[in-house]
Structure 1
């Protein structure tokens, strides 16, 4: 999921470079959402692993 966030971020950078503001904004929002979903899943996994080890 982090990979897709990075891909959408790169798409946003390229779109902004060529002047496609709407596409860049959309790709940036998708990248943000995917990044935060990745962070939430990573934290949940970390916490569940800590609970399981006890």
Structure 2
């Protein structure tokens, strides 16, 4: 079963913030987010909110 969630992603390098909608499937969240505009793909704070 997939559940819709709202995800806030903040880059710890440049401070850019992204608010996305995604799906929680089998314990993982899929938003399609790959990397920040500063090319950071690993040093991110991810916060999940239910819709």
Higher RCO, 1 vs 2 (CA within 8 Å, ≥6 residues apart): 2
TM-score (norm 1): 0.22
Q: Which has the larger radius of gyration?
A: 1
The structure that is strand-richer by fraction is 2
TM-score (norm 2): 0.23
The structure that is helix-richer by fraction is 1
